[in-house]
Amino acid sequence: MRLPNGNAFINAGAIGQQREVTSSGDIVWKFTFKNEVDAPHTMFRADKYAVDYSGLAGLISHDE
């Protein structure tokens, strides 16, 4: 999925990994979803929301 900033949001579901990549191929961030025994776990759907998305109000501290 192409993000408003031009980067791509990639969900590699079989290995439970999501990442944001710039148009030049640099990884901005990467997250691997792991199960209770700390092994990669499948995740076949993921969405990225802006930090100011109203549905996240109160869940994220802007001081971090």
| pTM higher than 0.85 | no
Q: What share of the chain is helix, strand, coil (3-state, %, to 5)?
A: 10, 30, 60
How many other CB atoms are there within 10 angstroms of residue 9's CB atom? Answer: 15
With b for 16 or more beta-carbon neighbours within 10 A and e for fewer, the 26-57 pattern comes to eeeeeeeeeeeeeeeeebeebeeeeeeeeeee
Residues 1-26: tens digit of each pLDDT: 888 899 999 988 888 889 999 999 99
Q: How confident is the model at residue 56 (pLDDT cuts 50, 70, 90)?
A: confident
Asked if residue 64 has pLDDT above 70, the reply is: no
Query: Mean pLDDT, to the nearest integer, of 27-32?
Result: 92
What are the distances in angstroms from CA 16 to CA 6, 23, 24, 43?
A: 23, 22, 23, 5
